[in-house]
Amino acid sequence: MRDVAQMCKGKKTLETKSYAAPTNGTGVDIKGYNSCVIFVQSGVVGATTNTFEVKDSDNDSAYTAVDDKYLTGTEASLSIGDTDEHVVRRIGYKGPKRYVRLDLMACGAASLLSGTVILADAQNVPVTQD
């Protein structure tokens, strides 16, 4: 039996840094995986509410908002306010597109944030980490 670490891989979509303006995440190729979960982590948060949107693409260049029917959870549940320091939020993606990313849509004051996509249910195991 393999442990879960051999069946999944983490990829950065929003690098860990202080954000003070809306920012597009980096696209993550989900080919070879049957599911993924997107995590948002916060550190010190400014006096603002940070909101996020999951987007997907066939070609890693033209991204559109994901239809809610392809999300497990709600994008509203990803919001991080000024009292939400050092929290982790998550949302699942089960859509048909090859690429996914997390965009920071609203951010009014400097907030330490990051976004990670965990690719799961690999079609070939063990998964190589790169």
Q: What are the pLDDT digits (tens) for 54-69?
A: 999 999 999 999 999 9
Q: Closest by alpha carbon to 56, among 89, 29, 23?
A: 29
pLDDT at 1 over 60: no
Q: Where are the domains of the chain?
A: 4-121
CATH of domain 4-121: 2.60.120
Write the CB contacts of 86 (distance below 8 Å, at least 6 apart in sequence).
Answer: 42, 43
Total Cβ atoms within 10 A of residue 108: 14
pLDDT at 119 over 60: yes
Q: What are the pLDDT digits (tens) for 86-109?
A: 999 999 999 999 999 999 999 888
Beta-strand relationship, 64-65 and 51-57: antiparallel
The whole-angstrom distance between residue 28's C-alpha and the CA centroid of its chain comes to 9
Residue 4 pLDDT: 78
Question: Rounded mean pLDDT of 117-130?
Answer: 87
